[in-house]
Amino acid sequence: MAATDPRSRNAVTTWVIGPGRVGRCLAWGHRQQGEAVVLFGRQAGPWQTWAAEQNLTTALLEQRKQDLAERPPQRLLFCPGDDVLAESIQDWASAMAGVLPGFAVHTSGIHGLTLLQPLADLGWRTAVLHPLLPFTEAETSWQALSSAVVTVEATEQAKSEVEVLGRLWGCLLHWLPADFDRRPYHLALSLAANHLTALLAWSEELLQPLLGDQARPALTSLAGHAVQAFEERGPAQSLTGPVVRGDAEVVAAHLAALPPEQAGRYRQLLEPLLDLAERSGRLSREGSQALRLLLNPSALDEESPDSKA
Ligand SMILES: NC(=O)c1ccc[n+]([C@@H]2O[C@H](COP(=O)([O-])OP(=O)(O)OC[C@H]3O[C@@H](n4cnc5c(N)ncnc54)[C@H](OP(=O)(O)O)[C@@H]3O)[C@@H](O)[C@H]2O)c1
């Protein structure tokens, strides 16, 4: 059974659903703030050992009925995966009939407020709070959350509770209109976080044979400077490298160094890079034409400038 900490008897009761990266972080952080937290999972697993080490109260879904009778939550934070979020909310709404309505939140970027409608229908105030943060370990992510932007889609009735949560997380709240198109929004964030990680992983694989353990810190520093320049000068002016210089020979050398499947991948990545270079006004017409030829694999044999000599 989910025993609540007696020291927290008068504290806000927050239940966190989904013991993954986000759920663990929020459960840990809210507990640190003195709330009575219960972290709910749908099945037993190593997350329970982790929670026990953190002195966090846990429960499985089948214990919910008893816990609801003993001490219902004032806040529900939904953090299962996006693929099961709708059914999880629906399932909780079915279990909540007769419970005093509180404040329900989910943290998904791809799903909006309508997913929480089953709880809104029971009188719950509802909000989507989406942290623009890649979550890792609980404690590290809780600290990072305090400097992150968190976007909000909420009903008017939930506004004050959203602001309380924003202060608790220490984050910068950014309010978004109701029912906006989340697809380009989510894609943008995925490009900046997930795709960047994949690019860095590929860079590390290429550099590791030469730099060994130093590859990762070297790339972190390089990428950090690129991100800083992007922030300070914007994309058009911060772009460097052979593409914006119109140096097709160097790009041809890159292509020649790669096995065919990786060359194809590199070509696809060159598309947006070349688009940006052209829009920056810094790439000559000739440079652009030479580079565009390289995007078509049949237009050139992929020999490096050295091997041509
Ligand atoms: N990760 C990020 O950086 C990040 C950032 C911003 C927002 N988000 C959002 O946060 C939410 C959670 O993401 P995440 O990365 O933390 O996912 P995750 O690591 O995959 O964790 C999901 C957890 O929920 C559990 N679960 C699944 N169905 C459940 C249910 N019905 N009841 C209770 N627990 C259930 C899963 O365990 P089992 O499958 O083992 O049961 C798993 O432990 C998503 O909506 C995501 O879009 C994530």
Ligand 1 close to Cβ of residue 18 (< 6 A): yes
The residue whose CA is least distant from atom 12 of ligand 1 is 79
User: Which residues fall within 8 angstroms of residue 221, CB to CB, at 6 or more apart?
Assistant: none
Ligand 1 close to Cβ of residue 139 (< 6 A): no
At 49, list the tokens. 């050992």
CATH of the domain spanning 6-180:
3.40.50.720
The correct CATH number of 185-308 out of 1.10.1040, 1.10.510, 3.40.50, 1.10.287 is 1.10.1040
> Could you tell me the residue ranges of all domains in the chain?
6-180, 185-308
The residue whose CA is least distant from atom 15 of ligand 1 is 21
pLDDT for the residue 24? 98
pLDDT for the residue 10? 73
Closest atom of ligand 1 relative to the 24 alpha carbon: 16
Ligand 1 close to Cβ of residue 141 (< 6 A): no
**Closest by alpha carbon to 219, among 205, 209, 197, 204?**
204
At 177, list the tokens. 């209109």
Tokens 């009903």 correspond to 155
Integer Cα distance of 184 and 110 in angstroms: 9
Integer Cα distance of 90 and 72 in angstroms: 17
pLDDT for the residue 1? 43
At 20, list the tokens. 């993954």
* 179 DSSP 8-state letter: T
Ligand 1 close to Cβ of residue 235 (< 6 A): no
CA-based torsion, 196, 202, 206, 209: positive or negative: positive
3-state secondary structure of 128: strand
3-state secondary structure of 184: helix
pLDDT for the residue 197? 97
Out of 47, 79, 145, give the residue to mutate to test ligand 1, the one with the largest number of ligand atoms within 8 Å of its CB.
79
The residue whose CA is least distant from atom 30 of ligand 1 is 42
Residue 298 CA: distances (Å) to CA of 103, 249, 294, 295: 59, 16, 9, 9
Give the pLDDT of the chain (309 residues) as one tens digit per residue: 444 454 456 789 999 999 999 999 999 999 999 999 999 999 999 999 999 999 999 999 998 988 898 899 999 999 999 999 999 999 999 999 889 999 999 999 999 999 999 999 999 999 999 999 999 999 999 999 999 999 999 999 999 999 999 999 999 999 999 999 999 999 999 999 999 999 999 999 999 999 999 999 999 999 999 999 999 999 999 999 999 999 999 999 999 999 999 999 999 999 999 999 999 999 999 999 999 999 987 755 544 444 443
